[in-house]
Amino acid sequence: MKLNSRAVHTGDRKRSELGWTPVTTPIHLSSGYIYNDMEELDRVFAKEIPGQSYSRYGNPTSDALEQLVNNLEGGAGALACSSGMAALHMAINTALIDRRRVVLAAKLLYGATLGLLMKVFEPAGVEVVFADFDDENDVAAAIAEHRPGAIVMETIVNPLLRVPALDRIAKMANDAKAPLIVDNTFATPMLIRPLEYGAAMSVHSLTKYLSGHGDVLGGAVVADAEYIEPLRNLSRTVGFTLGPFESYLAMRGIKTFPLRMERQCANACHIASWLANHPAVERVYFPADPKHPDADNIKRLLPVGIYGAMVSFEVKDADRAAIFRLMNALRLVVPATSLGDVHSMMLYPAMASHRELAPKHRERLGIRDNLVRLSVGIEAVEDIIADLDQALKA
């Protein structure tokens, strides 16, 4: 089946022993489960037969969500977590269980990911090394020098929308026997499925495009055959479990994810082209730009005509105060600290996603104080453009 059909049907309609079948996966709120006899429960605990025992280990609603997300990404299995950052934490810890405690990461990542690596993993004794993932030679040299136990990158990089050579980096990682962990939140399975290129794990913030309505905090890790059971075993101990109600909402959102994403991507293309010709805009960052520094990777890795729904741009001669005036002037676009919603949202990276980085560090990464990040929604594109225009002129 195509992605649109799988998003609607996967995980639902489990047949009941009573003969009826719910159209939608129910919300199973029980924390514990009983069986007809202890021998059957013993076999469930031993993983000899499928079944539920305790909701930190699994839940029927969350299991259905995991089946759905895994189907979209094409892995061996998935784990639903309490947030995207919890999912990334689980993925890195799983990768390092029996490997050198060295992580090679892209220099340019989501700010909270940088914080997780430097403020959580480094103090715990993990060596964290950064490389320029837009330079394959730099990645190869870092792998050869540091022999990492895991490698971390993003498919479409937050917030400058670079697109590293995932296929080639995955080959380097596999040659070095270092599991590659890819944050695929910006791209989603509609644009790219990292495991198909050799990644070990693909991570999502379910909060964003997959759920898509701003009402769920959750994350997911999709793993290959080597890592799915270690991931689940670690989860049983750590307990970064997503609750059944959040799992239900995430599944409900995913049913319309392909439709929303198609509209958002189309809107983003229109807006990026319009911004490129606006007198108040200094520079636009968007993968459809034929002059994009990663144009070859984009042509090779992304579907024709679909480039994601994020647009970043720099406002000409703007400082922090000018950016605040711009965002305060917005009437339709929401100045909020997230992305991937049905409504368009603008974020100021220097204040929000990359706030914890020193100004000089941000500058070195190319995140200037006049940069804003726009998550394009499903509204009429003319209305989004009209709001941006009046705010840029305010």
Which residues are catalytic, by number? 56, 110, 183, 208
Find out whether 35 and 282 touch, Cβ atoms under 8 Å: no
The DSSP-derived string for 244-284 is HHHHHHHHHHHTTHHHHHHHHHHHHHHHHHHHHT-TTEEEE
Residue the block writes with tokens 């190869």: 140
Question: Token digits for 54?
Answer: 């305790």
Question: CA angle at residue 122 from 174 to 169, to 5 degrees?
Answer: 20
Task: Residue 377: name the closest of 276, 288, 267 by CA.
Answer: 267
Q: How far apart are CA 148 and CA 111, in angstroms?
A: 21
Find out whether 83 and 325 touch, Cβ atoms under 8 Å: no
CA 300 vs CA 183, 215, 293: distances in Å: 19, 34, 14
Q: How far apart are CA 207 and CA 218, in angstroms?
A: 5
Question: Token digits for 101?
Answer: 């405690």
C-alpha R_g of the chain: 21
The DSSP-derived string for 66-108 is HHHHHHHHT-SEEEEESSHHHHHHHHHHHHTTTS-SEEEEESS
φ, ψ (nearest 5 deg) of residue 83: -165, 170
Q: How far apart are CA 375 and CA 65, in angstroms?
A: 25
Strand order through the sheet with 371-375: 281-285, 310-315, 371-375, 345-347
**Helix and strand element counts for the chain (H, E):** 15, 11
Question: Token digits for 38?
Answer: 């202890």
Burial of 393 from C-beta contacts in 10 A (0-12 / 13-18 / 19+): exposed
Q: How far apart are CA 185 and CA 204, in angstroms?
A: 5
